[in-house]
Amino acid sequence: MYENSKNVYSIVSGDESWIYCFEPENKRQSAVWVFQGEEKPTKMVATFVSKPGQIATVPLNEQRTVIADWYITICLPKVITELRKIRRRAILHQDNANSHTSQKTRQYLTEENVELFDHSSYSPDLSPNDFFTFLKIKNRLRGQRFQSPEEAVDAFKNAVLDLPANEWNKCFENWFERMQMCINLRREYFEKQ
């Protein structure tokens, strides 16, 4: 299987998520006071991980949604630079968001000799960041208050860096098991019983 291949170390999986200045422990705590016209204290980050651990976390500074221009001029160059420090070959796994599948993005990845690892449509449980990284790190940060979105992003980055290698190995083993289950079920999505 692929998980036993050395190529697994070339795979980088990326996704985006909101990081909050306060990750509530329950729904009641999720209320936040903001003045009219003021934005909620959040920051969007794109996080890229591989079997050995985090490759890069890139915050969106000027906008609130990921667009292809930001993705190929700011985000992916940082990710590819970091990845190439440790691996020559790059295999990128990402979901099917418009910014990830645009012609500009595909052209950029081709120019950078980055291979794509297809993501099954409508399968959120097949992204390591969705079922592992974001879940695990947000649970660690739950209940903590940060003075600014930037402080929350720094805490997020540090928490990701603190995850030991064996956790990342388990994450990737779990990911391959999930993909095999998806193949076995012919991509039929089902809710956990």
Which CATH number describes the domain made up of 2-27+38-184?
3.30.420.10
> With 0-12 CB in 10 A as exposed, 13-18 as middle and 19+ as buried, what is 176?
middle
Instruction: Tell me which of 20 and 134 has the higher pLDDT.
Output: 134
In angstroms, the CA 90 to CA 98 distance is 21
pLDDT tens by residue, 44-100: 899 999 999 999 999 988 667 788 999 999 999 999 999 999 888 889 988 878 888
3-state class (DSSP) for residue 22: strand
* Domain ranges (residues) in the chain: 2-27+38-184
The pTM for the full model equals: 0.84
